[in-house]
Amino acid sequence: MLVNFLKKWVNEENPYMWLMPTILLLGGFYLWPIIDVIRISFTNAHLYKRTYNFTFDTIVQAFSTSGFFETLWVTFIYVLASVVGQLILGLILAVILRRATDRRLPGTTLIKIAILIPWMMPGVSAGISWNYLLSEASVGFFNNALQSFGYEPVRFLSDKTNALISVCAANIWKGTAFSMIVFYAAVSTLPSNLYAASAVDGAKPWQQLIFITLPQMKTIITIVLILITIGTLNSLEIILALTGGGPGRSTEVMSLFILNTVFVRGNIALGSVFAVILMLICLALTFAYMRLIELDKE
Amino acid sequence: MKQSQESLLGDLATYFFYMVTGIFFIFPILWSLSVALGSQESVLFDGLRIFPKNPTLENFKAVLAFPVFDLYLWNALKLSFFGALGASLICLPSAYAFSRFDWKGRKTALILILVFKMFSGIIILVPLYRYLRMLGLLNSHFVVICVYIGVQIPMTTWLLKGFCDKVPKSLEESAMIDGCSRLGAVFRVVLPTLISGFMAAFIINIITNWGTFIIPFILLSKEKLLPIAVGLLRFQNFYEGGGQELVAAASVLSILPAIIIFVLLQRLIIKSMTTGAVKG
């Protein structure tokens, strides 16, 4: 029986044999942890204690944890600002770069590289670079500039509102390359006869942008929106290097909050509840993304 | 006439726009470089000088002489290299399966793989940390490499499937008619044509792994094992009060490899960025 079983499964025409390494790794390093994090969220486990009991208390406790709603709010603002900023800037860049490429303007590749470098570099380096730009110590560029022109220094990083704005700006700076590249590819596939026809009818370039380009790109814009949202929810390196989540809790986004709950306070059950909440948000966004991909194919 | 005048005006506006965006995107890095090239005094007293008065490479030398810094770089290289190699090798057969076989649920599986990409590293690392700690497997480069591979599987599978699709089926079919088994046909005919695709997946993985932060940040704690992305944060915290010129030099050093690879291979990398977003 075993021999028959092996003969049936272990052969080169069985696609699952080819997929086996991928299935094992995804199972071990993704699927199992995801199931486990849900399980832990129903316990009172502590990072450094071996025993635990199953309970709903942690889930109830999560919603009364100090800083939870502030973190949700900060995450919401951080994601919203980053997404809106990256979408608009990426779209403008894509349209301008497309036109410049068509007209073979020199320097276009150089600008593309300049925008892509922040995207390529490690997040911690990005945070450090922005730290030196905005710092209130002697190294900070902007405050040096302000002072040499006789203005008061601005508390870019130690004021709560300013710190959140700074973190968003740094994230937009780092992430815009992605939306630009995807939009650039999308703009390149738009049918050119629409533009020619509308030009004959006397349409101005900005009218073409609003009435032809944007409606044609509705789906891809939404897809990019969802991908950036998920990417932003997952990123914390810039914040760690730029503000460390402070001052107070003013830049402590969800992923950082989970990190602190689990690894600073040792409360792995509570951290798991927050992780599950973050996971549900990601999952909802993913379903929206998949639905759109299918719509796009039809 | 009027048309060309308008175009010229548009070109002028484009260059003005280039200037503004160029400054916005490059200046933060340029300022880090300027801090890194200055001395401690220039950081404290020179203020606005974008090009330091007496540029010096001393900071770079000092950083490289720092006891663990070369280890940070070496570890990052090691983790990136083996993570990239592993992901590319493991995804080759699965990409081939997605490209050549037609089985029930193929499309669903292909999209399901993308779903994994959507979960934040922190979500899987909380439980992973817990059971790796119980098993005594924290501070192991091997385990970290496995997690790197797992995280990169979705993107790499999609990328390699795209390259597989471009290899004509008739190639291996004729080999199989000539008496090759499928496995033989894959090794003799398909793999040699996939080399460029494999290199692409490998290089993109290296760049992504170089900047990966959260996985080693949680799974490694021994100073000697840290890659540069995590080491840099330690470095920054260590020099919180002063010595920014050293941190800046370290930061610039950590960016360099990624930039060099990128400038050499930008077309390839740009192509990979749209994988899964546009083609669906």
Cβ–Cβ under 8 Å, residues B189 and B168: no
Give the B window 23-52 contacts with A, CB below 8 Å. Answer: 24-29, 31-32, 35, 43-45, 47-48
Which tens digit of pLDDT belongs to each residue from B250-267? 888 888 887 888 778 777
B43 to A120: CB separation less than 8 angstroms, yes or no: no
B94 to A278: CB separation less than 8 angstroms, yes or no: no
* Residue of A12, A29, A261, A270 to mutate for B, most B C-beta atoms under 10 A: A29
Q: Which residues contact B45 (CB under 8 A, 6 or more apart)?
A: A138
Q: Looking at residue A86, what is its pLDDT?
A: 94
Give the A window 139-178 contacts with B, CB below 8 Å. Answer: 139, 141, 144-145, 147-148, 173, 177-178
B105 touches chain A (CB under 8 A): no
Q: Give the largest Cα separation in chain A, rounded.
A: 88
B170, two tokens: 């008739």
DSSP 3-state of B55: coil
B256 touches chain A (CB under 8 A): no
Q: What is the residue extent of each domain of chain A?
A: 69-297
B276, two tokens: 């899964």
B213 to A122: CB separation less than 8 angstroms, yes or no: yes
Cβ neighbours, 10 Å, residue A56: 10
Q: Report the helix count and the strand count for chain A, using DSSP H and E.
A: 16, 0
pTM for the predicted model, two decimal places: 0.86
pLDDT tens for each residue of chain A, 298 residues long: 777 777 777 777 777 788 888 888 888 888 888 998 898 888 887 877 777 778 777 787 878 888 888 899 999 999 999 999 999 999 999 988 888 888 888 888 888 888 888 888 888 999 999 988 888 777 778 787 787 787 878 888 888 888 999 999 999 999 898 889 888 888 887 777 777 788 788 777 778 778 888 888 888 888 888 888 888 888 888 999 888 877 878 888 889 999 988 888 888 888 899 999 998 988 888 888 778 777 766 5
Q: Which residues of chain B neighbour A138 with C-beta distances below 8 Å?
A: 43-45, 47
B28 to A285: CB separation less than 8 angstroms, yes or no: no
- Facing B31 at nearest CB: one of A129, A233, A241: A129
Q: Looking at residue A82, what is its pLDDT?
A: 93
Sequential DSSP letters for A88-132: HHHHHHHHHHHHHHHTT-TTHHHHHHHHHHHHHS-HHHHHHHHHH
Q: Looking at residue B276, what is its pLDDT?
A: 52
Nearest CA in chain B to A169: B24
Rounded CA gap, A177 and B26, in Å?
13
Which tens digit of pLDDT belongs to each residue from B182-219? 777 777 778 888 888 888 888 888 888 988 899 999 99
Q: Which residues of chain A neighbour B111 with C-beta distances below 8 Å?
A: 290, 293
Which tens digit of pLDDT belongs to each residue from B64-79? 888 888 899 999 999 9
The candidate with the shortest Cα–Cα distance to A70, out of A265, A276, A260, is: A260
Q: Looking at residue B1, what is its pLDDT?
A: 47
- Report how far apart, in Å, the C-alpha atoms of B225 and of each of A54, B60, B214, B220 are: 36, 22, 14, 7
Rounded CA gap, B82 and A173, in Å?
30
Cβ–Cβ under 8 Å, residues B214 and B122: yes
Give the B window 79-98 contacts with A, CB below 8 Å. Answer: 90-91, 93-94, 96-97
Cβ–Cβ under 8 Å, residues B63 and B128: no
A293, two tokens: 């991909």
Rounded CA gap, B203 and B165, in Å?
20
Give Cα B167 distance to the centre of its chain: 26
Q: Looking at residue B280, what is its pLDDT?
A: 36
The answer to whether residue B248 scores a pLDDT higher than 70 is: yes
Average pLDDT, chain B: 83
Give the B window 146-205 contacts with A, CB below 8 Å. Answer: 146-147, 149-151, 153, 157, 181-183
CATH top class, domain A69-297: mainly alpha
The answer to whether residue B2 scores a pLDDT higher than 90 is: no
Nearest CA in chain A to B45: A138
Cβ–Cβ under 8 Å, residues A61 and B155: no
- Facing A121 at nearest CB: one of B15, B181, B255: B255
Q: Which residues of chain A neighbour B101 with C-beta distances below 8 Å?
A: 13, 15, 18
The answer to whether residue B117 scores a pLDDT higher than 50 is: yes
Q: Looking at residue A298, what is its pLDDT?
A: 58
Rounded CA gap, A89 and A96, in Å?
11
The candidate with the shortest Cα–Cα distance to B31, out of B17, B45, B52, is: B52
Q: Which residues of chain B neighbour A26 with C-beta distances below 8 Å?
A: 113, 116, 150, 153
Q: Which residues of chain A neighbour B247 with C-beta distances below 8 Å?
A: 128
Which tens digit of pLDDT belongs to each residue from B46-67? 656 667 767 778 788 888 888 8
Q: Which residues contact A247 (CB under 8 A, 6 or more apart)?
A: A157, A158, A159, A160, A163
The answer to whether residue B138 scores a pLDDT higher than 60 is: yes
Q: Looking at residue B227, what is its pLDDT?
A: 92
